[in-house]
Amino acid sequence: MGRKVAVVGTGQTYHRSHRPDVTSREMIREAVTSALADADLKIKDIDAVVIGNMDHFESINYVDTYSIEGSGAFMKPIMKVSTGGTTGATVAIAAYYHAASGLFDRVLAVGFEKNSESDTTGAIITCSDPIWDRFSYSGAIPSLATEATAYMEQYGATQEDAALVGERDRNHALNNPYAHLQRPLTVKDIMASPMLAYPIKLGDICPRSDGACAMILAADGIAQKTASRPAWFKAVSVRHTYTWFGDSTDYNKGLVSMQQASQEAYARAGIRSPVDELDVAELYLPYTWAGLKWIEDLGLCGRGEAARFVGDKNTHMGGKLPINPSGGVISTNCIGATAMLRVAEAAIQVMGKGGKRQVPEAKNALATGFGGCFWTDVVILSSERP
Amino acid sequence: MSADNQKPERLEATFAFPMLYEWSIGLYGSRFFQEIMNNKRFIGIKCPGCGKIYVPPRRVCGPCFKELTELVPLSDTGVLTAFSVVNYPFIDPNTGSRRPIPYTYGYIQLDGADNIFSHIINETDLSRIKVGMKVRAVFKDRAEMKGNIEDIKYFELIR
Ligand SMILES: [Zn+2]
């Protein structure tokens, strides 16, 4: 059995569509410096580093060595982990394994992306299988859109139901000084925005952002001395299942990777009724329908009930289970950092450092990562040492 | 040399040469395309553990972790389980130029198969296409076939 581990500090950049003022190394440095300051540590206190972004997006292959001037990993063990959209959460989980193993006491985790320096859609298309999928695949938007058409047909959910998720997250972003898109968007605005790939409109989908996120994890005994209220890892779960889209898209079953990962994490964390026992959720919802369908896959409400559950404001700030106080992925999407931002924002809530976006007395927080070929990572953090 | 920080001329390098790779798609992957070329039909493969029939055929059932050997013929018809009409311009990394839009990306459950097959549907009018519709594969003429996924021209809706 591994050691218990907690998040003791987080840092992130002020996310923008384009950061011509910095290189990605300098962007990483901003996040790392701010995480060290948050934990009141110096770079010399860090024993190992785990870093990741989307493989080859900015044409950088050796991200671990390339990033050293930004990450501060000079003469330290560093490992690159890259798992598509889930990368940021997988990096956080790998950093957790590092500390839990007993080999390293304080571990720095970094996720970043400078989307302005890559052709995001082209790069995502090359992630698909060249023989079977690439000819018809056109990036993240249409493959998500297919899920939306199946969901609407199955449960009668409407485009307006989904747009409310976008309105919610974009409103929440106004409380987050780091969020990329800080202009509120209403259901009406989303419905009137241009159709990109039916039924996804411009207002339904995440932006491309430049940004970085860093987290510092510490092992039991050190975590308590470093942070007054550390965010303990209660459970992690990873489901990177298939690599062909057709294997992952049986919509009668739902998003199986998310169902399995969340069930496993709840069981490990001793959670029986997630909607009652969790206080806040930071979910990787890259488009609005995910805020309906996937909360069903996470067991936060019953099948086909999400439109009513969200419509009754259960997931807005002040509701039963606030989702994405940070504004979520629909407001900020620096891809390699996106899933880590979910874990970091969950930690911020548990540590009580959320400022205007703080959910009062948040004890248990759920974070998810999504990506690859409909894959899921789940992290559950708690103020209570497990 | 002046040390003035004048805006320099932007230099660009474009790599326009083909990069040649060989890519093995495995025994059953090749059989799948040969069946289309020779017989204009689909084949799948059956798992001896769970009984699931996969298309395209592959050598291992992930959940059972069993080797698959039993090829089974499949119908050229199926059900449209999900779709999207792609409406935004983008550069196709396969060709280096813009892929023609709009086009419809669809997930098809072929009759007799248990998983989903992705391809394009020749209908972009939203009032004429619906999840749950029956579809049929339309193949290229034999002379035009190259043994790849585009030997299937598209799936058409059966009304
Ligand atoms: Zn099987």
Q: Is residue B6 part of a domain?
A: no
Same domain, A346 and A269: yes
Same domain, A303 and A156: yes
Closest partner residue to A149 (CB to CB) among B82, B87, B150 is: B82
**Amino acid A7: pLDDT:** 98
Q: CATH number for the domain including A174?
A: 3.40.47.10
Q: Is residue B153 part of a domain?
A: yes
* Separation of alpha carbons B4 and B2, rounded Å: 5
Q: Is residue B137 part of a domain?
A: yes
Residue A171, domain extent = 126-207+235-382
**Amino acid A205: pLDDT:** 97
**Amino acid A242: pLDDT:** 87
**Amino acid B5: pLDDT:** 65
Tell me the mean pLDDT in the region A24-35: 98
Same domain, A108 and A246: no
Average pLDDT, chain A: 96
* Separation of alpha carbons A108 and A93, rounded Å: 11
**Amino acid B15: pLDDT:** 67
Distance linking the first and last C-alpha atoms of chain B: 75
- Write out pLDDT tens, residues B55-65: 999 999 988 99
Same domain, A300 and A290: yes
B54 CA → ligand 1 middle, Å: 9
Examine residue B73 and say whether the peptide bond preceding it is cis (omega within 30 degrees of 0): no
Confidence of residue A85 (pLDDT cuts 50, 70, 90): very high
Question: Within A298-380, where are the H helices?
Answer: 306-311, 328-331, 335-351
- Write out pLDDT tens, residues B99-155: 999 999 999 999 999 999 999 999 999 999 999 999 999 999 999 999 999 999 999
**Amino acid A250: pLDDT:** 84
Tell me the mean pLDDT in the region A118-136: 90
- Write out pLDDT tens, residues A196-227: 999 999 999 999 999 999 999 999 999 999 99
Same domain, A135 and A280: yes
ipTM summary value: 0.91
**Amino acid A183: pLDDT:** 96
Same domain, A49 and A175: no
* Closest listed residue to residue A286, CA positions, set A166, A186, A110: A166
Same domain, A64 and A168: no
Q: Is residue B115 part of a domain?
A: yes
Pick among B116, B122, B130, B151 to test the A interface (most A CBs inside 10 A)? B116
A16 token code pair: 């923008």
**Amino acid B93: pLDDT:** 86
Cβ burial, residue A257 (10 Å; 0-12/13-18/19+): buried
Q: Is residue B11 part of a domain?
A: no
3-class SS of residue A223: helix
A339 token code pair: 């899933």
A153 CA → ligand 1 middle, Å: 29
Confidence of residue B4 (pLDDT cuts 50, 70, 90): low
**Amino acid A51: pLDDT:** 98
Same domain, A19 and A134: no
Same domain, A15 and A135: no
**Amino acid A264: pLDDT:** 98
Closest CA–CA distance from residue B158 to any residue of chain A (Å): 19
- DSSP annotation of B98: B
- Write out pLDDT tens, residues A98-108: 999 999 999 99
Cβ–Cβ gap B90/A138 under 8 Å:
yes
Chain A residue at shortest CA distance from B60: A242
**Amino acid B3: pLDDT:** 60
Give me the number of domains chain A comprises: 2
Confidence of residue A141 (pLDDT cuts 50, 70, 90): very high
If phi > 0 it is left, if psi is from -120 to 50 it is alpha, else beta; for residue B50 that is alpha
- Write out pLDDT tens, residues A313-333: 999 999 999 999 999 999 999
Cα four-point dihedral sign A81, A83, A84, A88: negative
* Separation of alpha carbons A206 and A166, rounded Å: 9
Q: Is residue B17 part of a domain?
A: no
Q: Is residue B78 part of a domain?
A: yes
Choose between B9 and B124: higher pLDDT: B124
Closest CA–CA distance from residue A131 to any residue of chain B (Å): 7
Pick among A149, A204, A241 to test the B interface (most B CBs inside 10 A)? A149
Q: Is residue B15 part of a domain?
A: no
Give me the number of domains chain B comprises: 1
**Amino acid B23: pLDDT:** 80
**Amino acid A277: pLDDT:** 98
**Amino acid A1: pLDDT:** 72
- Write out pLDDT tens, residues A67-77: 999 999 999 99
Which of A226, A253, A272 is the C-terminal boundary of a domain? A226
Same domain, A160 and A184: yes
* Closest listed residue to residue A29, CA positions, set A84, A4, A66, A61: A66
Residue B84 has pLDDT above 60, yes or no: yes
Same domain, A288 and A341: yes
Confidence of residue A61 (pLDDT cuts 50, 70, 90): confident
Closest partner residue to B83 (CB to CB) among A146, A195, A247 is: A146
Cβ–Cβ gap A134/B62 under 8 Å:
no
Residue A275 has pLDDT above 70, yes or no: yes
A13 CA → ligand 1 middle, Å: 46
Which of A226, A261, A294 is the C-terminal boundary of a domain? A226
**Amino acid B11: pLDDT:** 72
Residue B127, domain extent = 26-157
In chain B, the percentage of residues whose pLDDT exceeds 90 is: 77
Same domain, A23 and A168: no
Neighbours of A357 (CB within 10 A): 24
Whether B110 contacts B117, CB under 8 Å:
yes
